[in-house]
Amino acid sequence: MCSFYKVLDHVSDAYIEVTGESLEECFEKAGLSVVDFMVDLTTISESESYDFQAKGFDLESLLYNFLEEVLVKASTGEFLAKSIKTRLEKTREGYLIKGEARGEPFSCDRHRPKLEVKAVTYHLMEIKKEDRRFIFRFLLDL
C-alpha cells in the first residue's frame, strides 16, 4: 500500500480515503489507488501516455465514472497508470474531468498482480471539504 491513500475498516472490500488540497489532486490519488490495489506501482514505467475524460452530473458520479475508466484499463491489462494529471471543469450538465495518465500496458514479466478489483461502487462514497482540504472516500468491490 502506498502512502498517498488510507485503507479504512471494512469487512470484505477496500474502503479507500484520499485527501488533497484540490479536487484534482484527490481524483489523481484516487485513480492511482485503484491501480495500486491491483499491481505494485513501483513496477510500472511511465513509457506511454493515455488521454482520458469522464463526465458526471455531480462530483460523486464523476468520481465513479473516472474510477471505472481507470479500472477497466487496468483490469484488461490495456493500461496501468503510474501517474495521473487531471483538469476539472464545471459544465452545464455537471462536471467533466480530462487528463493524461502515464504508464504502460500490463506485462507478465514485470508486473505481479496483487488483488482483483471487481468494481467501483457508490456504497459509502463521500466527497467533502474540511479545513481547506478535500476528502474522498469510496469502496472497491474485491
> Rounded to an integer, what distance in angstroms lies between the CA atom of residue 38 and that of residue 75?
8
Q: Could you please report the per-residue DSSP string of 40-101? A: -GGG----EEEEEEEEESSHHHHHHHHHHHHHHHHHTTS-EEEEEEEEEEE-SSSEEEEEEE
Residue 69 is predicted with a pLDDT of 97
Q: Which residue in 98, 102, 19, 104 sits closest to 62, CA to CA?
A: 98
**pLDDT digit string, tens, across residues 58-73:** 999 999 999 999 999 9
- Position 7 pLDDT exceeds 80: yes
Residue 139 is predicted with a pLDDT of 98
> Rounded to an integer, what distance in angstroms lies between the CA atom of residue 2 and that of residue 71?
17
**pLDDT digit string, tens, across residues 89-127:** 999 999 999 999 999 999 999 998 999 999 999 999 999
Q: Which residue in 23, 19, 21 sits closest to 88, CA to CA?
A: 23
- Position 2 pLDDT exceeds 90: no
Class of domain 6-141: alpha beta
Q: What is the dihedral of CA 102, 104, 105, 111, to 10 degrees?
A: -120
Across 21-46, average pLDDT: 97
Helices (H) and strands (E) in the chain, counts: 2, 7
> Rounded to an integer, what distance in angstroms lies between the CA atom of residue 109 and that of residue 34?
21
> Rounded to an integer, what distance in angstroms lies between the CA atom of residue 38 and that of residue 32?
10
Residue 1 is predicted with a pLDDT of 57
Domain boundaries, the chain: 6-141
